[in-house]
């Protein structure tokens, strides 16, 4: 056996399936070049619950599957497969990767030609076509770690000293010796592993690649960065790289490495730096979240204050105090701030700070806040009243300025300011038959997208042109510019992985997302998400889990519970005493008064005393398809008035046992 491909999987079924399809293509190509390249595949599943094991058994029967009953970690899982392998080389490959067709042939040939090579890594790009710097790394010595932790490597990205962690001085397109290989694609010579040992099982996740790379070098072998083939690595699909948990686990792994390989003095210094980094990153993360939450309200508040102050001066000089006099100074530092706080609070309650942006919520919030201000104003003693005119002028300014600010920020494509009805301009790249399949397969998923058309791969001159034809794949860059495309979907059955990776690397257009549809698959994968035919269904149902729907629904449930409690003697007459049980459960958030009708995957969603089946006549037959449509309609267009309508039609069922 020449090569064993080892893939450790944990709850990334769709990424795994796409990865295995690309691996099979690469094996076929390698064997077409050299029939002596015998290659097998090991998948070690660490107790996934997403159907990964069943998928491998069904779709890839030739794969050696090791299904663990628990999650022993990345190192142990890889070692399980390596110990069973009898191949000359072992490739540790992440499941969230796509390899080129020629990848295996090229890396095997390189290793055969360089007997001094103990390990090899390749050029990696992410799902947006950007080069991943961890494709080539240096040893994380205390000073190297210091430069990275405190940002000097970012300030001097090409420096051989300050950017040593990612070897910024080495060209990403040149083959070079490196110190550390990335665990996402790590080709190892089995005879070297026999000498230095397998992955250190003290590392649960992260750090084991650094440890193994260092042991290869210490044994006298070399590690190579080999950019003549490249892979897509959907970085961070199993673990969010920016999370505090990732920071903690990764840096703790570095401490294990330091204690194992550095002197006591250097290990102590390294541990100090790492712990400092953890607290520093934690502080930055908390500060960042705080700043992100407050940035827009503070901006709105400043905008309102500036405009209202100008309005006060203008109204003061031209209408109220033409012959002299001013508003009391309390107006500036008491009244105006109070009005602004009420408006901002009302905007928040209306959900105008939720994403995506919806101007109707902004108008609703400002109108509600204005009514509240006027009511409070009318209750004040005459001596404390200033001017209703300024309140109304402030409302007009608030509507105009805040709405305009959203429009401007949206026009500038500032992240987080997409409007609710925004639709991404999308095109599919592939043969006409495959384009038709993809369009049909994902018609519901892409309901919120603007289908521009397709880009053909047919030989120039032979393509069949229709009203959705945009051009040939050779014109993709121009097509993307002219039609302002924001999403490209590649059909992997028509286009090779190598060509897709090259196109992603060449385009590198800001704001353009890339997705891949594997051959005969009913899903597509992008840089940050997986889409299946059920996604539109799931996405709409998720509305009930997010603000403002979740907040409004909870407030409504509590208010109805209190009303029913007051009127319970009346309701007991025709609904029964169990209504008290339901009232208590709703108040303690164990139930809602109205919920989704139960259907397999809906068990995770809130239960209701009543459900969407109660929305229609009890005599009407409720098929699974009809229930699904009712659930979708209820969730996508949720309103408390819908709940009120359902309750009003089904008062006698409010004591129903759930």
Answer whether residue 574 shows pLDDT above 80: no
Please determine whether the domains at 3-136+172-237 and 424-533 fall in the same fold group of CATH.
no
Rounded CA-CA distance 80/221 in Å is: 24
Q: What percent of the chain has pLDDT over 90?
A: 28
Q: What is the pLDDT of residues 322-381, one digit of tens each?
A: 667 788 888 888 999 999 999 998 888 887 887 778 888 899 889 989 999 998 888 888
Per-residue model confidence (pLDDT) at position 225: 95
Q: At what angle do helices 568-575 and 549-566 cross, to 10 degrees?
A: 90
Answer whether residue 534 shows pLDDT above 60: no
Answer whether residue 552 shows pLDDT above 90: no
Answer whether residue 536 shows pLDDT above 50: no
In the numeric block, the tokens 């990334």 are attached to 12
Confidence class for position 281, pLDDT limits 50, 70, 90? low
Rounded CA-CA distance 615/613 in Å is: 5
Give the start-to-end residue ranges of the domains of the chain: 3-136+172-237, 292-411, 424-533, 539-653
Confidence class for position 606, pLDDT limits 50, 70, 90? low
Rounded CA-CA distance 79/201 in Å is: 9
Rounded CA-CA distance 343/401 in Å is: 13
Mean pLDDT of 552-558: 84
3-state secondary structure of 636: helix
Answer whether residue 510 shows pLDDT above 90: no
Q: Of 181-195, 222-236, 509-523, 527-541, which gets the smallest average pLDDT?
A: 527-541
Answer whether residue 603 shows pLDDT above 50: no
Per-residue model confidence (pLDDT) at position 151: 72
Answer whether residue 40 shows pLDDT above 90: yes
Phi, psi angle pair for 193, to nearest 5°? -60, -35
Alpha carbon distances (Å) from 43 to 80, 124, 267: 10, 21, 36
Q: What is the pLDDT of residues 418-443, one digit of tens each?
A: 776 556 788 899 888 888 888 777 66
Answer whether residue 463 shows pLDDT above 70: no
In the numeric block, the tokens 């990153």 are attached to 281
Report pTM: 0.67
Secondary structure element (H or E) that encloses residue 283, with its range: helix 264-315
CATH topology of domain 424-533: Rossmann fold (3.40.50)
Rounded CA-CA distance 403/180 in Å is: 51
Contact 163, 157 (CB under 8 A): yes
Residues 6+ apart with CB under 8 A from 125: 131, 132, 230, 231, 232, 233, 501, 504, 505
Mean pLDDT of 486-515: 84
Answer whether residue 602 shows pLDDT above 80: no
DSSP 8-state class, residue 332: I
CATH topology of domain 3-136+172-237: Spore Coat Polysaccharide Biosynthesis Protein SpsA; Chain A (3.90.550)
Per-residue model confidence (pLDDT) at position 237: 43
Confidence class for position 621, pLDDT limits 50, 70, 90? low
As a whole number, the mean pLDDT across the chain is 82
Per-residue model confidence (pLDDT) at position 263: 64
Per-residue model confidence (pLDDT) at position 186: 93
Rounded CA-CA distance 643/25 in Å is: 53
Query: What are the tokens at 319?
Result: 């209408």
Confidence class for position 478, pLDDT limits 50, 70, 90? confident
Query: What are the tokens at 507?
Result: 């385009």
Per-residue model confidence (pLDDT) at position 467: 73
Rounded CA-CA distance 230/428 in Å is: 23
Mean pLDDT of 272-301: 77
3-state secondary structure labels for all residues of 205-236: CCCHHHHHHHHHHHCCCEEEEEEEEEEEECCC
Confidence class for position 244, pLDDT limits 50, 70, 90? low
Rounded CA-CA distance 101/32 in Å is: 11
Answer whether residue 264 shows pLDDT above 90: no
Q: Which is more confidently placed, 426 or 39?
A: 39
Per-residue model confidence (pLDDT) at position 241: 46
3-state secondary structure labels for all residues of 116-181: CEEEEEEEEECCCCCECHHHCECCCCHHHHHHHHCCHHHHCCCCCCCCCCCCCCCCCCCCEEECEC
- Neighbouring C-beta atoms of residue 550, cutoff 10 Å: 15
CB-count exposure of residue 295 (10 Å: 0-12, 13-18, 19+): exposed
Answer whether residue 598 shows pLDDT above 50: yes
Answer whether residue 545 shows pLDDT above 90: no
Per-residue model confidence (pLDDT) at position 353: 85
Q: What percent of the chain has pLDDT over 70?
A: 81
Mean pLDDT of 601-605: 45
Confidence class for position 601, pLDDT limits 50, 70, 90? very low
Question: Bridge-partner residues for 97, per DSSP?
Answer: 233
How far apart are the two ends of the chain, measured CA to CA in Å?
Answer: 59
Residues 6+ apart with CB under 8 A from 128: 504, 512, 513, 514, 527
Q: Of 229-233, 361-365, 534-538, 594-598, which gets the smallest average pLDDT?
A: 534-538
Per-residue model confidence (pLDDT) at position 38: 95
Secondary structure element (H or E) that encloses residue 185, with its range: strand 185-189
Rounded CA-CA distance 384/381 in Å is: 6
Contact 232, 273 (CB under 8 A): no
DSSP assignment string, 503-545: HHHHH--TT-EEEEE-TT-S-EEESS-EE-TTHHHHHHHGGGG
């Amino acid at each position: 056996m020449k090569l064993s491909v080892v893939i450790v999987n944990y709850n990334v079924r769709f990424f795994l399936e796409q990865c295995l399809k690309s691996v099979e293509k690469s094996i076929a190509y390698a064997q077409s070049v050299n029939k002596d390249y015998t290659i097998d595949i090991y998948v070690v599943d660490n107790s996934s619950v997403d159907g990964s094991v069943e998928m491998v058994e069904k779709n890839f029967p030739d794969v050696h599957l090791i299904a663990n009953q628990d999650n022993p970690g990345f190192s142990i899982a890889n070692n399980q497969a390596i110990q069973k392998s009898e191949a000359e080389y072992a490739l540790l490959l992440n499941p969230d990767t796509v390899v080129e067709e020629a990848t295996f042939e090229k890396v095997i040939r390189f290793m055969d030609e360089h007997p001094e090579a103990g390990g090899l890594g390749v050029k990696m790009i992410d799902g947006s076509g950007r080069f991943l710097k961890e494709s080539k790394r240096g040893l994380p010595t205390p000073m190297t770690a210091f430069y990275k932790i405190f940002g000097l490597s970012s300030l001097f990205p090409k420096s051989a000293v300050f950017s040593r962690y990612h070897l910024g001085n080495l060209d990403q397109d040149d083959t070079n010796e490196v110190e550390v290989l990335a665990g996402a694609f790590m080709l190892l010579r089995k005879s070297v592993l026999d000498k230095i040992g397998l992955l250190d099982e003290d590392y649960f996740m992260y750090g084991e690649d650094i440890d193994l790379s260092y042991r290869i070098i210490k044994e006298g072998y070399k590690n190579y960065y080999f950019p003549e083939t490249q892979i897509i690595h959907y970085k961070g699909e199993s673990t969010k790289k920016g999370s505090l948990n990732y920071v903690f686990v990764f840096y703790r792994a570095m401490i294990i490495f330091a204690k194992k390989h550095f002197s006591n003095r250097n290990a102590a210094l390294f541990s100090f730096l790492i712990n400092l980094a953890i607290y520093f990153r934690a502080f930055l993360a908390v500060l960042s979240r705080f700043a992100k939450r407050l940035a827009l309200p503070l901006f709105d508040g400043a905008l309102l204050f500036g405009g209202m102050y100008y309005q006060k001066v203008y109204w003061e000089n031209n209408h109220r105090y033409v012959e002299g006099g001013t508003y009391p100074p309390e107006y500036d530092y008491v009244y105006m701030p109070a009005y602004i706080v009420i408006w901002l609070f009302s905007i928040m309650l209306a959900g105008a700070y939720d994403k995506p942006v919806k101007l109707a919520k902004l108008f609703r919030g400002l109108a509600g806040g204005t009514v509240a201000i006027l009511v409070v104003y009318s209750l004040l003693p005459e001596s404390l009243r200033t001017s209703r005119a300024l309140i109304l002028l402030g409302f007009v300014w608030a509507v105009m300025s805040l709405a305009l600010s959203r429009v401007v920020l949206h026009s500038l494509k500032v992240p987080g300011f997409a409007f609710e009805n925004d639709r991404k301009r999308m095109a599919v790249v592939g043969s006409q038959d495959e384009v038709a399949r993809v369009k049909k397969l994902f018609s519901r998923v892409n309901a919120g997208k603007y289908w521009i058309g397709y880009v053909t791969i047919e030989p120039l001159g032979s393509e069949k042109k229709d009203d959705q034809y945009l051009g040939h794949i050779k014109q993709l860059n121009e097509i993307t510019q002219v039609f302002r495309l924001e999403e490209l979907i590649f059909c992997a059955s028509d286009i090779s992985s190598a060509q897709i990776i090259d196109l992603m690397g060449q385009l590198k257009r800001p704001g353009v997302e890339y997705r891949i549809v594997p051959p005969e698959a009913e899903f597509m994968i992008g840089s940050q998400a997986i889409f299946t035919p059920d996604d539109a269904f799931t996405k709409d149902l998720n509305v009930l889990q997010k603000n403002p729907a979740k907040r409004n629904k909870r407030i409504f449930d509590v208010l109805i519970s209190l009303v029913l409690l007051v009127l319970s003697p009346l309701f007991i007459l025709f609904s029964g005493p169990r209504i008290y049980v339901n009232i208590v459960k709703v108040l303690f958030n164990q139930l809602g008064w109205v919920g989704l009708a139960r259907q397999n995957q809906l068990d995770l969603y809130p239960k209701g005393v009543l459900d969407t089946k109660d929305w229609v006549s009890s005599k009407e037959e409720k098929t699974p398809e009809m229930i699904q449509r009712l659930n979708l309609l209820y969730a996508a267009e949720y309103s408390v008035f819908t709940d009120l309508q359902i309750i009003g039609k089904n008062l006698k069922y409010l004591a129903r046992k759930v």
